[in-house]
Amino acid sequence: MPSVREVAAMIDHSLLRPELTRAEVLAGLATASEYATASVCVRPADVAPAVAELRGSGVVVGTVVGFPHGGATTTTKVRETAELVALGAGEIDMVVDIGRLRDGDAGYVEEQIAAVVAAADGRPVKVILENAYLSDEQKVAGCAASERAGAAYVKTSTGFAAGGATAEDIALMRRSVSPRVGVKAAGGVRTLDALLTLHDLGATRFGATTTTAILDDLARRLASRDE
């Protein structure tokens, strides 16, 4: 079983719910810092305060582009990315143009992702496919377009659609990209067992809101094993 530190280093602690207050965001940032998660994924308006709050913690501030529907123009997504990078965002999770992907317009999808990757200026871009709306063929096409465009990860979901990460989707996505592209599971990853199952299938990053519960559960299991 992995250590608490190893699992924390795979979690993007998610603070994306629209109703979160500033106090709730600050509490979430404190959680990410306490557990040394890979990153914290915040709403665009929270990037600057999150960067200031987490400076020196080692926790990367990530954020979202075209979220949650993906239907913004390429120009809008590029400008949003550039602004957020200038504010200190270290990772970008962008929502693919879901409708264009369903249309079979892989060329447009690839070009848009590539434009966001360029605007991110070397920072990892994770492409959210929103699998709940896609056929397996469309998921594979989205993964291929993401890799060709230079994305660092393909990601299952925003967490705001009807469905989230599934074992079947993680296995499919892992098969659909080369080893240089990671797979991020998001949407419904609320327990340690769910995380470990998806990790075994190839996911290496996880969007989670229940970070404390997941990591505390792991700590208890490890302590019980050592008794």
Half-sphere CA count of 111, side-chain side, radius 13 A = 8
Active site residue 77: no
Closest C-alpha to 134, from 107, 177, 158, 101: 101
Active site residue 184: yes
> Running along the chain, 227 residues long, what does each successive block of 10 average in pLDDT?
96 98 98 98 98 98 98 98 98 98 98 98 98 98 98 97 95 98 97 98 98 98 86
Q: What is the pLDDT of residue 97?
A: 98
* Span 36-60, pLDDT tens digits: 999 999 999 999 999 999 999 999 9
Q: What is the pLDDT of residue 226?
A: 72
Closest C-alpha to 12, from 30, 32, 26: 32
Q: What is the pLDDT of residue 225?
A: 84
Whole-number Cα distances in Å, 195 to 82, 125, 200: 32, 21, 9
Bridge partners (DSSP) of residue 207 are 12, 186
In contact, 16 and 42? CB cutoff 8 Å: yes
Q: What is the pLDDT of residue 50?
A: 98
Q: What is the pLDDT of residue 1?
A: 87
Q: What is the pLDDT of residue 20?
A: 98
61: left (phi over 0), alpha (psi -120 to 50) or beta: beta
Q: Which of 77, 126, 139, 184 is catalytic?
A: 184
Active site residue 139: no
Q: What is the CATH number of domain 4-220?
A: 3.20.20.70
In contact, 129 and 95? CB cutoff 8 Å: no
* Helix, strand, coil % in the chain, rounded to nearest 5: 50, 15, 35
The rounded Cα 2 to chain-centroid distance in angstroms is 21
Q: Which of 93, 126, 139, 169 is catalytic?
A: 93
